[in-house]
Structure 1
Amino acid sequence: MQLFARRPASGATSGAPGPRSHRRRRYGALTAGLAAIAGLTTTLSPSAGAAENPYERGPAPTTASIEASRGPYAVSQASVSSLSVTGFGGGTIYYPTSTADGTFGAVAISPGYTARQSSIAWLGPRLASQGFVVFTIDTNTTSDQPASRGRQLLAALDYLTERSSVRTRIDATRLGVMGHSMGGGGALEAAKSRPSLQAAIPLTAWNLDKTWPEIETPTLVVGADGDSIAPVSSHSEPFYQSLPSSLDRAYLELNNASHFTPNSSNTTIAKYSISWLKRFIDNDTRYEQFLCPLPRPSLTIEEYRGNCPHTS
């Protein structure tokens, strides 16, 4: 369903019990004890048809945990020179230091027109500390258009999963893309080109193409009410509205925000990006509580539209 939110004892006999009666009582007590133990075991063990989610990472989330500047994982980082890659301009990989929990999903993030990876660098450790491998990239040139940025995001994911020093930490079947401005337009392009992506988050995105009915990737479109470069009326809103209504999709419009709000640490962007990535890359339904019921308008949210995540 599409949703929209704005602003006594029995059977006793007389007489002393005989030996057979004592044996029956001892047998009955033993049977009851074994049944109780079996019941406890059943309670503590997962039910037969409810296997645990193998992609779940980290402790149960709270509002405080997803709004925090850092999550439960310590983070390391590695620089990737543009000279060592093809198809994009290098970047920085942020990843959970520990390997105790197995592999992680991964996200590539593109900056916008004229910008470099430093403009979206804050997202690297913030998302990685929640249990993702995050690649903030530089583009081949700072003037690359959205279609090119989409191809570069995919090239960065391919490098990350096939050649990078952290490739063994990544589950190559669980990948997503994000981007700011033309990089957000690139995230839409990447999702259109590679339907196997698990999540896409365009941030105050810019693209001449306004319709995206081909996208099959769960998509969170983030706009800003004060955006004069990519106004929501001609960018984020039509992007969202053109997505298939059957798709897991949402539209978050930031309140009192500009086109460049995603270039600085922002709790609202982080909170809903983490929830979206966790729900769709990690298939972690513990994060549905932050997406459904739909967030209501607040000091930081002008508007939120979408549907509650579909359950498989």
Structure 2
Amino acid sequence: MTTSAPAPAARQTPTAPAAPRGRHRLRAALAAAALAAALPFTGASAAHAADNPYERGPAPTTASVEATRGSFAVSTTTVSSYTARGFGGGTIYYPTSTTAGTFGGVVVAPGYTATQSSMSWLGPRLASQGFVVFTIDTLSRYDQPASRGRQIQAALDYLTGSSSVRARVDRNRLGVIGHSMGGGGALEAVKANPAIRAAVPLTPWNTDKTWPEVTTPTLLVGAEDDSVAPVSSHAEPFYSTVPASTRKAYLELRGASHFAPNSSNTTIAKYTISWLKRFVDEDVRYSQFLCPAPAPSTAILEYRSTCPY
């Protein structure tokens, strides 16, 4: 075995004294601040997206939340009343793609004497924004709000535990919507199950006027010309008695009747989508449509809220 001769020592070149450690830290801090200031806002948005695994779909715009369809293609499956347990069956609308991961689940209940068809427009509209949506029939068209609340919960249990699309649904991210007595039922559901992430009662009706038990973020939608569930004796007292510590909002539709939620309505859709996105998906990109509170307009008579959120 042979060995190499040791390499000659490297020639030392005199250098200036090292800068004090504090000066290095100051220069680094200034450089970091300059870099942060130079980054576009989209960089911050991308960082936030990485932090929130529940964001679904592209960054929202006014046009996207008001559109009749979102970015996801939608399929449907029917649930027979013979298969359902504790509610009357219904239709599930769900994003066809599975590449985005699981989605929040939403049950939609109809009003007194009505069927799921009265709320069917919300199915594809919400599902195409990235939710699995279950529009349901009730056991009887005449069921009262307390019964409808129990049926909403039964439908949530079916959606997450027995349905053919249960693998697409995140059972920890659920919301409820209801019209009229179905809206009263939505309040009953979140009163009984505060783990539900969001509620949207639409022109709600209930004989119970006080809701201090509600801790679920709740958007109440009333209608100025509602003669069935006048806002003065339904939606407004419901809103005012939900605790101030609960994230809540009250939207009153200008010139609308009790039955405004039974047909395609851009204002209802815009704020329902934004509310579900914010509280079911924890997606703060949608806070811009909720806070600050929208001003009165041709569609909105009044809006109250507990912003910011």
The answer to whether TM tops 0.5 is: yes
Letter in 2 for 1:216: T
Q: Which residue of 2 is the match for residue 230 of structure 1? A: 229
Q: How does 1:1-312 map to 2 (within 5 A)?
A: 52-310=51-309
**Once the 2 structures are TM-superposed, how far is the Cα of residue 307 of structure 1 from its aligned partner?**
1.4
**Once the 2 structures are TM-superposed, how far is the Cα of residue 75 of structure 1 from its aligned partner?**
0.4
Partner SS for 1:83: coil
TM-score by length of 2: 0.86
Superimposed CA distance per residue, residues 15-52 of structure 1 (whole angstroms, 9 cap, x where no aligned partner): xxxx969xxxxxxxxxxxxx9xx988xx7799999952
Structure 2 distance, partners of 1:63, 1:282, is 18
Moved more, 101-110 or 45-54: 45-54
Superimposed CA distance per residue, residues 256-289 of structure 1 (whole angstroms, 9 cap, x where no aligned partner): 1000000000000000000000000000000000
Partner SS for 2:82: helix
Identity %: 70
Structure 2 distance, partners of 1:70, 1:47, is 24
Change (3 A) 1:102 1:151: same
Superimposed CA distance per residue, residues 218-277 of structure 1 (whole angstroms, 9 cap, x where no aligned partner): 000000000000000000000000000111000000001000000000000000000000
Structure 1 distance, partners of 2:94, 2:46, is 33
- Residue segments in structure 1 that go unaligned for 5+ positions in a row: 1-18, 22-34
Partner SS for 2:177: strand
TM-score by length of 1: 0.85
Q: Which residue of 1 is the match for residue 23 of structure 2? A: none
Partner SS for 1:84: coil
Superimposed CA distance per residue, residues 54-107 of structure 1 (whole angstroms, 9 cap, x where no aligned partner): 100000000000000000000000000000111000000000000010000010
Partner SS for 1:82: coil
Structure 2 distance, partners of 1:216, 1:60, is 28
Change (3 A) 1:46 1:302: closer
Structure 2 distance, partners of 1:108, 1:239, is 20
Change (3 A) 1:83 1:286: same
Letter in 2 for 1:94: Y
Q: Which residue of 2 is the match for residue 13 of structure 1? A: none
Partner SS for 2:304: strand
Partner SS for 2:51: coil
Structure 1 distance, partners of 2:122, 2:188, is 21
Question: How many equivalent residue pairs?
Answer: 279
Letter in 1 for 2:127: A
Change (3 A) 1:218 1:84: same
Structure 1 distance, partners of 2:64, 2:47, is 31
Structure 1 distance, partners of 2:181, 2:48, is 45
Letter in 2 for 1:99: T
Aligned CA-pair RMSD: 2.6
Structure 1 distance, partners of 2:94, 2:203, is 25
* Residue pair 2:292, 2:308 contacting (<8 A) in 1 also: no
Structure 1 distance, partners of 2:83, 2:49, is 45
Structure 2 distance, partners of 1:48, 1:262, is 37
Structure 2 distance, partners of 1:97, 1:47, is 25
Structure 2 distance, partners of 1:107, 1:214, is 21
Structure 1 distance, partners of 2:198, 2:143, is 23
* Residue pair 2:49, 2:55 contacting (<8 A) in 1 also: no
Structure 1 distance, partners of 2:130, 2:49, is 23
Structure 2 distance, partners of 1:268, 1:47, is 28
Superimposed CA distance per residue, residues 197-232 of structure 1 (whole angstroms, 9 cap, x where no aligned partner): 000000000000000000110000000000000000
Relative CO higher for 1 or 2, CA cutoff 8 Å, sep ≥ 6?
1
Change (3 A) 1:91 1:249: same
Structure 2 distance, partners of 1:175, 1:289, is 22
Structure 2 distance, partners of 1:120, 1:238, is 25
Structure 1 distance, partners of 2:147, 2:103, is 27
Letter in 2 for 1:87: G
**Once the 2 structures are TM-superposed, how far is the Cα of residue 142 of structure 1 from its aligned partner?**
0.2
